[in-house]
């Protein structure tokens, strides 16, 4: 296999997890190569020009759970990463002009909620404390492999001790609460605890975006715990932040960190095949025929693209392939990025609101609205009324736009990956117009201020950003696809049936979001195995 020289490790895909993995591998002393098919690194965590002189976080758009360990270990701040904490964390405008913020300080949030319902404000403080405590039990597993249920002998005892040490203080009631959150619905939880529809809707707006299921579907309550995992350099629970320079600043800093440790990062280098001989990985081949040798390969691509697209069918056991084929994908979301000629003005926003508060607003008027929206989308239709999460990014970071221009990025759900009628290429403009119409109900000046609009359908997320079926999490975040079930049962330790091949993207534990956690954990697993093999 001709190449300039062999590598210890090759990372397929330069998304944020791939770059994280590469940096740790190189820091650990392995000669490491990253191969990214696009002309820029970042995967779905990028900043791109959408009009002359105007840039947007085209896909991922807010930093919430980026692991503090990754920030510190890779010295991302020294490589240009700067984040400003979102304040409030969530904000929901309602018909009639009432704008309800969820402030990051719990007592300030409760005071805000008390003008709607004093009873709910008191309940909020209790629920917030309960949720944060449960999230802290999950936190240690975020950077560790999930429990290995197949471990036997001494290794089995080690696993038992590891898990037991993490949850030794959990009470019987908390176990019941944890199971309830894992399996129950968000809507049922909110109906049990709150009386105000507005307060319930604010909680809905803080749930996991891009996840299947309306708020009354089983398993949707887990989003509340995910959003309370810690993030940011200060390791704050529930942290959400605006990234100066857009989300691409995260991956540019990661790429710089990887290079500083000696990694080679190459763009416009699409991997067509992972090469296996006698059950062991030996390298990769590019679309142009170039081949690179390596002792180990880590794939940042999603499980379906990795195992069904980059490997020969004969290299994998039938049961494993069937499990991968059965992963639920069909991403339920889209993105719309806008360049405006004037600042968006939300009806009911207080006159004294600073740019940080004015910078975000989630348009979802009720749980029932969200449930109807999902029911329509799951039948293959584009809902007339959409759930739209908006960020006026240039309000916090004016460097994203030319003077006098404004950037608004919009996350849209629920929409189908497969349309019942027509194609996404034929319905892209329809989706964009429905998004503008929805925003116009709350921000009347926005539709007429649009100078440029980029609409990314689920199909665009697949074609442009390599997200199979447009799924931003590399597989839906449902209980049967989490923890020791991710990506498939029996293979949750980042290793794969091919010796020397690892999965380091969001399709591995703990899942999606810009966290760096799968890349961190997969790299450490690969390093341990590499050192054992060398000994």
**Could you read off the pLDDT of 351-393 as tens digits, one per residue?**
999 999 999 999 999 999 999 999 999 999 999 999 999 999 9
Q: In which residue are the tokens 């091949």 written?
A: 501
Close Cβ partners of 262 (under 8 Å, ≥ 6 residues apart): 26, 31, 32
Predicted confidence at residue 15, as pLDDT, reads: 97
Q: When comparing pLDDT for 495 and 228, which is higher?
A: 495
Tell me, what's the pLDDT at 233? Answer: 74
Q: Are 392 and 57 in contact (CB under 8 A)?
A: no
Question: Tell me, what's the pLDDT at 468?
Answer: 95
Asked if the model's pLDDT at residue 519 lies above 70, the reply is yes
Model confidence at 3: pLDDT above 60: no
Quote the pLDDT of residue 159. 63
pLDDT at 177: 81
For β-strands 271-277 and 48-51, DSSP reports them as: unpaired
Give yes or no for a contact between 139 and 114, defined as CB atoms under 8 angstroms apart: no
Percent of the chain residues past pLDDT 90, beyond the cut:
77
Given a cut of 50, is residue 11 above it in pLDDT? yes
Please give the mean pLDDT across all residues of the chain. Answer: 92
Structure tokens at 72: 């510190």
Instruction: Report whether pLDDT(178) > 90.
Output: no
Residue 206 to residue 104: CA distance in whole angstroms: 12
Spatial contact of 280 and 273, defined as CB atoms under 8 Å apart: no
Band of residue 179 on the pLDDT scale cut at 50, 70, 90: confident
For residue 165, what pLDDT is reported?
Answer: 66
What confidence tier does 1 reach under pLDDT thresholds 50, 70, 90? very low
164 pLDDT higher than 70: no
pLDDT value at residue 338: 98
CA nearest 239: which of 221, 249, 226, 250?
Answer: 226
Q: Is the pLDDT of residue 301 over 50?
A: yes
Average pLDDT over residues 148-171: 68
| CATH 3.30.70 is the classification of domain 330-465 | yes
Mean pLDDT of the region 476-500: 89
Average pLDDT over residues 466-487: 89
What is the pLDDT at residue 512? 86
| Whether the predicted pLDDT of 70 surpasses 50 | yes
Percent of the chain with pLDDT over 70: 95
- The contacts found for 202-209 with CB under 8 angstroms, 24 or more apart, are 202/90, 202/92, 202/100, 202/102, 202/113, 204/364, 204/367, 204/370, 205/90, 205/92, 205/102, 205/362, 205/364, 205/389, 206/89, 206/90, 206/102, 208/477, 209/333, 209/389, 209/411, 209/413
Q: Give how far Cα 335 sits from Cα of 56, 225, 290, 457, Å.
A: 11, 24, 35, 7
- Mean pLDDT over 522-533 rounds to 93
Alpha carbon of 33 to those of 3, 8, 400: distances in Å? 12, 8, 31
Whether domain 7-46+244-327+475-534 has CATH 3.50.50.60: yes
Using pLDDT thresholds of 50, 70 and 90, give the confidence band for residue 345. very high
Does 19 score more than 50 pLDDT? yes
Pair 335, 457: CB distance under 8 Å: no
Half-sphere exposure for 435 (CA within 13 Å, toward CB): 30
| Residue 514: exposure state from Cβ atoms within 10 A (0-12, 13-18, ≥19) | buried
In the chain, where does the domain assigned CATH 3.30.70 lie? 330-465
Hey, CA dihedral for 113, 114, 117, 122, is it positive or negative?
Answer: positive
Average pLDDT over residues 286-313: 96
Residue-wise pLDDT for 96-126, tens only, equals 999 999 999 999 999 999 999 999 999 999 9
Q: Read off the pLDDT band of 156 (50, 70, 90).
A: low
Angle at 429 between CA 423 and CA 432, to 5 degrees: 115
Q: In the chain, list all ranges with CATH 3.50.50.60.
A: 7-46+244-327+475-534
pLDDT in tens, 200-228: 999 999 886 788 889 999 888 888 877 77
């Amino acid at each position: 296999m001709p190449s300039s020289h062999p590598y210890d490790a090759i990372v397929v895909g330069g998304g944020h997890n791939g770059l994280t993995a590469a940096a740790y591998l190189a820091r650990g002393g392995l000669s490491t190569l990253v191969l990214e098919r696009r002309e820029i690194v970042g995967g779905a965590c990028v900043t791109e020009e959408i009009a002359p002189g105007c840039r947007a976080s085209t896909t991922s758009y807010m930093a919430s759970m980026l692991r503090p360990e990754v920030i510190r270990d890779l010295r991302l701040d020294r490589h240009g990463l700067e984040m400003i904490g979102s304040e409030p964390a969530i904000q929901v405008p309602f018909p009639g002009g009432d704008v309800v913020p969820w402030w990051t300080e719990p007592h300030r949030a409760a005071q805000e909620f008390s003008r709607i319902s004093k009873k709910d404000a008191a309940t909020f403080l209790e629920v917030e404390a309960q949720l944060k405590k449960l999230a802290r039990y999950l936190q240690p597993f975020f950077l560790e492999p999930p429990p290995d249920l197949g471990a036997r002998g001494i290794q089995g005892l080690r696993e038992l001790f590891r898990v037991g040490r993490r949850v030794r203080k959990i009470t019987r009631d908390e176990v019941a609460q944890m199971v309830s959150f894992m399996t129950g619905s968000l809507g049922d939880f909110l109906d049990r605890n709150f009386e105000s529809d507005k307060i319930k809707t604010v909680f809905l707006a803080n749930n996991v975006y891009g996840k299947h299921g309306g708020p009354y579907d089983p398993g949707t309550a887990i989003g509340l715990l995910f959003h309370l995992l810690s993030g940011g350099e200060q390791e704050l629970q529930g942290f959400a932040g605006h990234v100066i320079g857009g989300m691409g600043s995260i991956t540019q800093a990661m790429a710089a960190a990887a290079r500083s440790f000696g990694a080679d990062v190459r763009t416009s280098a699409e991997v067509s095949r992972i090469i296996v001989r006698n059950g062991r990985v030996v390298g990769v081949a590019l679309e142009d025929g170039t081949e690179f040798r390596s002792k180990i390969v880590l794939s940042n691509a999603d499980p379906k693209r990795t195992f069904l697209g980059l490997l020969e069918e004969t290299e994998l056991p039938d049961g494993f392939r069937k499990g991968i084929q059965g992963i639920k994908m069909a991403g339920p979301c889209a993105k719309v990025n806008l360049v405006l000629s004037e600042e968006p003005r939300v009806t009911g926003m207080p006159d004294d609101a600073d740019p940080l508060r004015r910078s975000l607003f989630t348009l979802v008027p009720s749980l029932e609205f969200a449930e109807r929206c999902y029911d329509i989308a799951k039948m293959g239709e584009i809902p007339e009324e959409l759930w739209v999460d908006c960020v006026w990014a240039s309000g916090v970071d004016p460097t994203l736009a030319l003077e006098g221009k404004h950037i608004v990025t919009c996350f849209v759900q629920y929409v189908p990956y497969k349309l019942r009628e027509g194609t996404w290429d034929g319905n892209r403009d329809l989706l964009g117009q429905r998004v503008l119409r929805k925003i116009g109900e709350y921000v009347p000046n926005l539709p007429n201020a649009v100078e440029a609009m980029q609409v990314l359908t689920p199909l665009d997320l697949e074609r442009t950003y390599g997200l199979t079926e447009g799924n931003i999490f590399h597989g839906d975040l449902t209980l049967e696809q989490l923890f020791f079930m991710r990506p498939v049962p029996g293979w949750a330790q980042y290793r794969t049936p091919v010796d020397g091949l690892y999965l380091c993207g969001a399709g591995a534990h703990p899942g999606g979001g810009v966290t760096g956690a799968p890349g961190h954990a997969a790299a450490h697993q690969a390093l341990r195995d590499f050192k054992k093999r060398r000994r």
